Chain A
C-alpha cells in the first residue's frame, strides 16, 4: 500500500515538473500576412488556386471561417499588431486617403500611435527575438519604423505597396519605393522578387540568432497579392486557361465549394454586384486578357504559398518547427481598384509614365503592371459581397489559420466570430505573457480591446463573444460602417455603389448579405444602431467630409505630399530674396538719379 502511495506521489511530482517544463517552453510564432487576399483565394477556403502549404497548415491547425479584419491595409495592420481599434491606434484610414478635414485630430494621422504598443514590443520585453520582413505602412519617419516599434531586425516597405520585381513605386503618388533595413534606407538586390526575398530575409534573421535559447516572433507581411499583381512565369503558366469561363462562373464555383467544405451555410447566396461586368459582353480578345490577369493573380498566390513552404521546411530542418505556432491571414478582402479596361488611353498614359507596360505577353513579369478588376475581385471574395474598402463581408471577412504548436484539435474548423484585434492577445497568451496594464515603458497606453481566442484552438469553447452589449464589435472606414453582435451585423456604405442606408444581416445564415432584415427586425436594428453610436464616441470616430472620394483624395494627398515642400520652399525663398532685390534696385536708381 505504502509502495503504491509512494509511486503515485512520485508520479504526481514528475507530472507536475513535466507540466512546469512544458509551460516554460515558449513557442516560436510566425505571423504570415497576405495583402488583399480574398476570402476564397486559397485552397482550404474553396479556391482552385493550388496552395499546398496553406492546406497542410489548415490540416495541422484550426481554420476560422468567420474572421473579420479591417477593410483596408494600414488600419488592419495597426489592429493586428496591437489589439487596439484602428481609430484609437491612430490609423483609422491609410494616410494616403485621409482628408485634410480629419487630419487635425491626433488619432487621424494614419501612423501607428506611440500610445498603442505592438505585440513585438511586448514579446521582445518578455525575451523573444523579434523579426519583420515585408510591408509595414504604419509610419515612415525614423521613430515610427518597425525597428522602433519592437522589432529587432527589420526589412520594411514603408509605402502602401511597391513593385514586386524591382525597387520602383507602383503609383505616381510616391517618388520612389521606400524600403528600410533596420531603420536605414535600403537598396533592394537586383534579383529581387518580393515573396522569395521576404522569406529569405526571415530565414536569415531567424538563423542569425539560432541557438541563443530564445524563442522568436517573425512577422512576414507579404506584398502578395497587392497591385501590381506580378508572378514568376512558371507560376503564371499553371493557371493559363483556368479563368477562360469568366468571373460569374468562378464566383459560383467557389460558392459551391465553400458550401461543400462547410465554410458557409448551405443557404448562402451571392449578391449581384453592380460593379461586375457581363463576361458574355466582352470580346474574345478581352476575355483572353482578363483570363490572364486572373492567372497572374493566382500565380502570385501560389508563389507566396511556395515560399511559405521554404520557411516551413527550414524550420523543420533546423528542429524548430514542432515548437512554432503559425498564423496565416490577410489584411483585408480582395482589391477592386484595377481598371475594368487596362488598355484605356489614360491607364496606358499613367502606367507608361511609371515605366510599366500592360502587354498581354509580359503580363505579371518585370516591367509589367497587372491588377484584377472589380469583376474578378468579387469572384475572389466569393461568396461574399463587396471587397476591399467596403464593409460588406467581402471587404472584412478573410481566411485565418492558426496551426502548429499549442493546438490540440488539429484539422478543425471554427465558425466563431473573431476579430483582427484578437490576434495580439492570443499570441500573448500562447507565449505565456500577461496583457499590458495601463502603462508600458512609462507611458500610458491604449488598452487592448481584442479577446484571447486560445480556447477556440482547443475546441473547449465555441465562441469568445456572446450577444451582450459589451460583445459588440464596431468598425468604420471613411464613413462606411459596420457593427457585429452575435450572428448579426449592421452595415452602411456611403461610398458608391452604397446608398448611406443601414442594413441588417444575419451573417451566419446569409454571409452573402442578400437578405436585409432591417424591416423585419427593427428592435435589433435600433439596438445595434445605438451600440454603433457608442462605438463612434468611444473610439473618437470623425465624420467624413461631404463628397469624399477615396481615389480623388489619394491623388490630392499624393500631389500635396510630393509638391507641398518644394512649393513652400520656393515661396519662402521669394519672401527672403525679394527685399534684397528691392534694395538692390533702389540703390541702382539712387546712383542713376545722382
Chain B
C-alpha cells in the first residue's frame, strides 16, 4: 500500500519537474499547452520564471518527502496545487476567466493525494 502510494505521488512530481524543464527549453510550446501565448520582455521573464519555479518546487517537494521520509515536504506541494485550483475558481467567478475544469480536477486530485500521503506517512512515523 505504502509503495503504491509513493509511486502515485512520484508520478505527478516527475511530471511537474518535466514541465519546469520544458518551460525553459521550449517556452512557447509549453505556454501554449496552458492556453497562453509566449509573452515578450518582462512578461516573458515573469512567465518562464514563475511557472518554472512553481512546477519545480511542487515536484521537488514531493521527491524530498518520499526520499527523506519527512512528511512535511508534502505540504508545499499540496498548497501549490490546492491553492492553484482555488484561485482558478476565483478567476472564473470574478475575472471572467474560463472555468478550467480539465486543470482544476487534476489539481484537486493531486492535492488530496499529497495530503493523504502526508497523513499516512505521518501516522507511520
Residues of A within 8 A of B (CB): 141-143, 184-185, 565, 568-570, 572-573, 576-577, 580-581, 583-584, 587
- Given A569-B25, A577-B63, verify A587-B69 contact (CB < 8 Å): yes
Task: Closest A residue to B19 by CB, please name it.
Answer: A569
Q: Nearest Cβ in chain B — how far from A49, in angstroms?
A: 41
Question: Are B25 and A580 in contact, with the CB atoms below 8 A?
Answer: no
Question: Are B68 and A572 in contact, with the CB atoms below 8 A?
Answer: no
Find A184's partner among B17, B22, B37, B40 (CB 8 Å cutoff): B37
**Which residues on the B side are within 8 Å of A583 (C-beta)?**
67-68
Q: List 7 A-B contacts (CB under 8 A).
A: A142-B38, A568-B25, A569-B18, A570-B18, A581-B67, A584-B66, A584-B67
- Given A185-B32, A569-B21, verify A577-B66 contact (CB < 8 Å): no
**Which residues on the B side are within 8 Å of A569 (C-beta)?**
18, 21-22, 25
Task: Closest B residue to A140 by CB, please name it.
Answer: B28
Q: Nearest Cβ in chain A — how far from B94, in angstroms?
A: 26
Question: Are A573 and B28 in contact, with the CB atoms below 8 A?
Answer: no
Question: Are A587 and B38 in contact, with the CB atoms below 8 A?
Answer: no
Apart from the given pairs A569-B22, A583-B67, A587-B69, 9 other A-B contacts in the complex at a CB distance below 8 Å:
A142-B37, A565-B26, A569-B18, A569-B25, A573-B14, A576-B60, A577-B14, A577-B17, A580-B63
Q: Nearest Cβ in chain B — how far from A87, in angstroms?
A: 27
Residues of B within 8 A of A (CB): 14, 17-18, 21-22, 25-26, 28-29, 32, 37-38, 40, 60, 63-64, 66-69
Task: Closest A residue to B26 by CB, please name it.
Answer: A565
Q: Nearest Cβ in chain B — how far from A584, in angstroms?
A: 4
Question: Are A573 and B63 in contact, with the CB atoms below 8 A?
Answer: no
A50 to B38, CA, bound (A): 46
**Which residues on the B side are within 8 Å of A576 (C-beta)?**
17, 21, 60
Question: Are A565 and B38 in contact, with the CB atoms below 8 A?
Answer: no
- Given A565-B22, A583-B68, verify A141-B28 contact (CB < 8 Å): yes
**Which residues on the B side are within 8 Å of A587 (C-beta)?**
67-69
Most interface-central of B21, B22, B37 (chain A CB within 10 A)? B21
A141 to B27, CA, bound (A): 11
A573 to B67, CA, bound (A): 16
A141 to B28, CA, bound (A): 8
**Which residues on the A side are within 8 Å of B40 (C-beta)?**
142-143
**Which residues on the A side are within 8 Å of B14 (C-beta)?**
573, 577
A403 to B67, CA, bound (A): 74
A143 to B69, CA, bound (A): 47
Q: Nearest Cβ in chain B — how far from A24, in angstroms?
A: 38
**Which residues on the A side are within 8 Å of B26 (C-beta)?**
565
Q: Nearest Cβ in chain B — how far from A245, in angstroms?
A: 50
Q: Nearest Cβ in chain B — how far from A154, in angstroms?
A: 15
A123 to B24, CA, bound (A): 37
A123 to B68, CA, bound (A): 64
**Which residues on the B side are within 8 Å of A580 (C-beta)?**
60, 63-64, 66-67
**Which residues on the A side are within 8 Å of B18 (C-beta)?**
569-570, 573
**Which residues on the A side are within 8 Å of B69 (C-beta)?**
587
Q: Nearest Cβ in chain A — how far from B18, in angstroms?
A: 5
